[in-house]
Structure 1
Amino acid sequence: MKKIIIPLMTLLFIGCGDEPLPKPKGYLRLQYPEAKYTKVNIPLPFTFDKNKTTSPVKNIKSSGAVKGIDIQYPSMKATIYLTYQKIRNNNLDSLLRDAQNLTQKHTIKADEIASNLFENKKSNTYGMLYEIGGDAASQSQFYLTDSINHFISGSLYFYAKPNYDSIYPASEYLKKDIERLMESLKWKE
């Protein structure tokens, strides 16, 4: 009986070992400073609040009726690109269609695109914020308008190959800055 039990127990102990598993990829846990905002007064017909951790807004690019500014986040290697256009000859439909089409171009790589309607009747500002999930080039797109004179579109881009898991914390942090920009935007005219 001992001759059977000892080899059986030996096989039982040897056979019950854990199989080696590959170690999963790890991602850094990134924490960002609490956002503090300051009002930006630029030579365009609107003002807004921006995060103090961004580079100063200096250069206003102009191409005919289109003007643009960049809000850079050097520590995150990200930029929010803003484009301003004056509404002319009832071209609001065209501007809205262009902004929506730009967002839809990301459907090739996006896992989802969620849209959030924005309305601030007090400052006469209306728009949409698109949150783009997945390995798309841009994680957020938005537009704002007063429906009569002004139209602003914006996009968030990172200077890195899109890996949604890696840039998700930064994208969420910057989404709050975009929401603050949209909420604080005021037309000068």
Structure 2
Amino acid sequence: MGKLFIYIGTSLFSALLLVSCKNEVLPKPSSQLRLNYPIAKYAAFENHCPFTFNINSDAEIKEDKNCGFTITYPKMKATIYLTYKPVNGDINKLLRDAQKLTYEHVIKADDILEQPFINHEKKVYGMFYKVSGNAATNAQFYATDSVKHFLTASVYFYAKPNFDSIMPAADYIRNDMQTLMETIKWK
């Protein structure tokens, strides 16, 4: 009887083990990558250059040569390159160069949306470009007073352009670029 009891106990344990180790395939719930960025807080930036603008307080700014700047976003692995050139009577060449730079991305871009910018009070005129698709940059602009000053800016990410992956960061920085452009004041 002891052997029968052990046999029944072993059989029940084996059956229980087989039932409990069953690999049921359960569908996983769909999920989205959630990237939270802080609400942008802007502060005026001013130095010896002939213009001022507002910049996101989370960005790091470094002056390059000839009043050019690199504005970096280390957490987003992105940099805005801001270039200044005096007009010196050749506004048409500067405009052509700025537009050429933007439209070099047409090969990879799905669309390039132009948004004119005019601020008569501050004498700031320009164009903001939203570039969609897997282009190297997703936003660029130029701003000028048409007489003395000309600024261009573009953003680049330190990653292979995959627009779907960088879209939240790209939108955040594009908003910063628009704020920068809209707050330019010539000295």
> If the length of structure 1 is used for normalisation, what is the TM-score?
0.81
Looking at structure 2, the residues matched to 26 and 106 of structure 1 have their Cα atoms a distance apart, in angstroms, of 32
1:52 aligns with 2:57: yes
Contact 1:109 1:134 in 2 (8 A): yes
Computing the radius of gyration over CA atoms, which structure comes out larger, 1 or 2?
2
Answer yes or no: is the 8 Å Cα contact 1:137–1:162 preserved in 2: yes
Deviation >4 Å, runs of 4+? none
RMSD: 1.8
Moved more, 25-34 or 152-161: 25-34
1:2-21 mapped onto 2 (5 Å cutoff): none
Displacement after TM superposition at 1:30 (Å): 1.0
CA–CA separation in structure 2 for the residues paired with 1:42 and 1:138: 27
Mark the CA change 1:54 to 1:169 in structure 2 (over 3 Å): closer, same or farther. Answer: same
Letter in 2 for 1:74: P
Does structure 1 retain, via aligned residues, the 8 Å contact 2:62–2:71? no
What corresponds to 2:145 in structure 1? Answer: 146
CA distance in 2, matches of 1:122, 1:165: 38
Deviation at 1:58, TM superposition (A): 3.3
Quote how far apart the aligned CAs of 1:61 are.
1.9
**Corresponding residue number in structure 1 for 2:86:** 86
Following superposition, the deviation at residue 26 of structure 1 comes to 6.5
Match of 2:99 in 1: 100
| Superposed displacement of residue 182, structure 1 | 1.0
Query: 5+ unaligned residues in a row in structure 1: which ranges?
Result: 1-19
Gaps of 5+ in 2: 1-24
Q: Where does residue 110 of structure 2 map in the other structure?
A: 111
Quick one: which amino acid aligns to residue 134 of structure 1? G
| TM-score where L is the length of structure 2 | 0.82
SS in 2 for 1:138: coil
Corresponding residue for residue 134 of structure 1: 133
Distance 1:52 1:102 in 2: 28
Bigger share in helix = 2
Q: How much has 1:39 moved relative to structure 2? A: 0.5
What fraction of aligned residue pairs are identical, expressed as a percent? 51
